[in-house]
Amino acid sequence: MAETYDLVVIGSGPGGYVGAIRAAQLGLKTAVVEKDPTFGGTCLNVGCIPSKALLDSSEHYSVARHELAAHGVIAKGVDLDLATMLNRKDKVVLDNTNGISFLFKKNKITPFRGKGRLRSPTEIEITAPDGGQDVIKTRNVMLATGSVANELPFMRFDGRTIISSTEALTLSTVPRKMVVVGAGAIGLELGSVWMRLGADVTVIEYGNKIAGVMDAGLSDRLFRILQKQGMKFILGAKTTGAEIKKSVAVVQFETLKDGAKNSIEADVVLVAVGRKPYSDGLGLEQLGIVKDARGVVQVNDHYQVRTTSNSVLPNVFAIGDLIPGPMLAHKAEEEGVAAAEIMAGHAGHVNYETVPSVIYTWPEFAAVGATEEQLKQNNIKYKSGTFPFSANGRARAAAQTDGMVKVLADATTDRLLGVHIVGPRASDLIHEAVAIMEFRGSAEDMARSFHAHPTFSEALREAALGVDGRTRQM
């Protein structure tokens, strides 16, 4: 008789593979179904990891060309070998995806290659790449199929001139002119990569600020830094179409305040206007599982999917980009862990107040908790402290003085409510704030904790001291 799994996870991205490992650690007999040839989903194959490999490589190139001389390092004839840069990125991806295969073996997780679909709440139909079908039985299901890039209906992806983030990781030549539609995380990160490698990059953004819902003051700071680096911006404008003439795109846009129509040429147009859940073809409709108009799967506090009959399927869980909340790998991971713990009879839980957000430009932009705008909107009385990296000794020594830290704390209790950093290594620095907020700590806790001297992290301590008016400004 075919065996019955305790858990079948559909999708092996950060949410799925981390959830599967947690389930296996808790003694559940676990299988993972993945449609792609390698594990790791968008993040490892065509997202977080390859983009960071290119961000690091392109930053080295930019530093060698523009910054080393100031350190007295004369690098003559600095040149770009794009093929090597792309190969290195591919190798980084391969090492990471192989790492997941290793982790599956180590944790005795059974992998299945194919597209998974719910035939019933306890049966998963798997369609292999060659079309062959199989059905496996399971006590629990975790839907972790992630998301796909939004397409603009008037500017369909063609994979060459109008591209998504996936193709932006594999361009074999540096575009002369690149237009990026959308100044969110993807637009700013991949726009930075190609700008550093020599492209003339213009970002068209619908909103009046860059970096989405990040703190407005710090977004403006990053905006000015990126402009200084050479990135051009057209804010408050919506793209309305693109015409391709001899492989050059003419992108049409309209300024929102006066309706003025304009256009701009580009060899490559990167459309980065958000992502939508990948919830099609999973067989959700037949089981009455509720999705909203965007395809977002609805779940209860335990990640159990809601059904049209106003109840839940207790053994079908959904996590990550498929369900509401920010589309972030680390949010999916924590939900995968929590769902696995809940189905194993433990008390899984995710603290959504401390999900960090990072945009990996240079300097980086990292944040946790509330922005000033959110606190004002919710009538929460707060105090703020700020500190610029230009006054931080280590930042001066490293010639990394662009950016600042903002610490927001409750006006009465001093509880840390939000921390926002534009600066060197902000992606790593933010986790001090995450940990303090996890323990419901205060700005005073941050200010009184040791910070080794000289480090970038002292800028956080100074900003925390600033909440009480005690910053030691130089």
Note if the bond before 363 is cis, omega within 30 degrees: yes
CA 94 to chain CA centroid, Å, is 20
Among 121, 207, 325, 393, binds ligand NAI (CB under 6 A): 207
The correct pick among 204, 222, 318, 416 for binding ligand NAI (CB under 6 A) is 204
Q: How far is the CB of 206 from ligand NAI (least distance, A)?
A: 4
Among 212, 277, 320, 418, binds ligand NAI (CB under 6 A): 212
In 3D space, the residue among 149, 153, 160 whose CA is nearest the CA of residue 185 turns out to be 149
> 10 Å Cβ neighbour count for 208?
11
- State phi, psi for 348 to the nearest 5 degrees: -75, 145
Does residue 272 touch ligand NAI according to CB under 6 A? yes
Pick from 239, 279, 361, 442 the residue near ligand NAI by CB under 6 A: 239
| Closest CB to ligand NAI among residues 218, 342 | 218
Q: Is 42 in the site for ligand NAI (CB under 6 A)?
A: no
Structure tokens at 434: 């995450």
Binding segment for ligand NAI among 177-185, 241-249, 439-447, 459-467 (CB under 6 A)? 177-185
346 is a catalytic site residue: no
Can you point out the beta strands (E) in 283-345? 304-306, 312-318
147-166 per-residue burial string, b: 16 or more CB within 10 A, e: under 16: bbbeebeebebeeebbbbbb
Q: What is the spatial order of strands in the sheet that 416-423 belongs to?
A: 357-359, 364-369, 416-423, 404-410, 382-388
Per-residue binder mask for ligand NAI (CB under 6 A), 312-351, x = binder: --------------xxx-----------------------
CA dist., res. 283 & res. 144, Å (int):
14
Interacting residue with ligand NAI among 117, 275, 291, 425 (CB under 6 A): 275
Instruction: Count other Cβ atoms within 10 Å, centred on residue 223.
Output: 21
DSSP-based helix, strand, coil % in the chain, nearest 5: 35, 30, 35
Contact (CB, 8 A) for 392 and 206: no
Q: Is 273 in the site for ligand NAI (CB under 6 A)?
A: yes
* Stretch of 269-277, 278-286, 381-389, 455-463 contacting ligand NAI, by CB under 6 A: 269-277
DSSP SS3 for 240: strand
Strand 364-369 and strand 416-423: the pairing is antiparallel
d(CA 238, CA 219): 19
State the minimum distance, in angstroms, from the CB of residue 253 to ligand NAI: 7
Contacts with ligand NAI: how many residues (CB under 6 A)? 26
Q: Toward ligand NAI, which CB reaches closer, 403 or 466?
A: 403
CB of 150 to ligand NAI, least distance (A): 7
Stretch that binds ligand NAI, among 20-28, 178-186, 280-288, 345-353 (CB under 6 A): 178-186
Binding mask 347-366 for ligand NAI (x = CB under 6 A): -----------xxx------
Q: Any contact of residue 206 with ligand NAI (CB under 6 A)?
A: yes
Q: List residues binding ligand NAI (CB under 6 A).
A: 152, 181-187, 189, 204-207, 212, 238-239, 272-275, 326-328, 358-360
For the annotated catalytic residues, the residue numbers are 453
